[in-house]
Amino acid sequence: MKSLVIYYTRDGHTEKSARVIAKEIKADVLKIEEEADRKGLMGYLKAGWDAIKEKEVTLVDSKEDISGYDVILFGAPIWGWKPAPAIITHIDTLDLSKKKIVNFVMMGSSCGKSLDIMMDHVKKSGGNVIDSISIKTNRVKESDYLHEARMFAAKVKTKF
């Protein structure tokens, strides 16, 4: 089965984990970008506010033909206990019919209902969520959270 990891990142934790997961399951990778500048303190605060409000954002040329993929993994950071708006906006643009979906989120403290929110959007787009995970990055060594991502990938690829 052909797999694709689609992710959004602000500070790099999600990107590092997405690449580890993609390598483990031999998947292609697509990084989602948005027009909004999320750098610095103001970018950080606006990111949290936009996530809390579940605001739709404008993406930068992120239209990917996913018709050739059987499994899609979505990765996002958690802001304000919700997934980054860019990943939700992207999910909402896709036809996920007959696709197996895996969601993973990177969090500093708590993911709240982030995985449920992502699952709801995936279902509305026709996808079937087969697994999900939240991975803590705050006060955790990079090698530890990447190991957790690798172990999750090894487990989830048995479900394809």
CA-based end-to-end distance of the chain = 7
Model pLDDT, residue 62: 66
Domains, the chain, with CATH or none: 3-159 (3.40.50.360)
Instruction: Collect contacts of 26-32 with beta carbons under 8 A, ≥24 apart.
Output: 27/3, 27/71, 27/73, 28/2, 28/3, 28/4, 28/69, 29/4, 29/5, 30/4, 30/5, 30/6, 30/62, 30/64, 31/7, 32/6, 32/7, 32/8, 32/59, 32/62, 32/86, 32/87, 32/90
The DSSP H or E segment spanning 90 is: helix 85-92
Question: In a structure prediction context, what are the per-residue pLDDT tens digits for the chain, which is 160 residues long?
Answer: 899 999 999 889 999 999 999 999 999 999 999 988 888 888 888 888 888 888 888 898 767 789 999 999 999 999 888 999 999 999 999 999 999 999 999 988 777 789 999 999 999 999 999 999 999 998 889 999 999 999 999 999 898 8
Model pLDDT, residue 83: 94
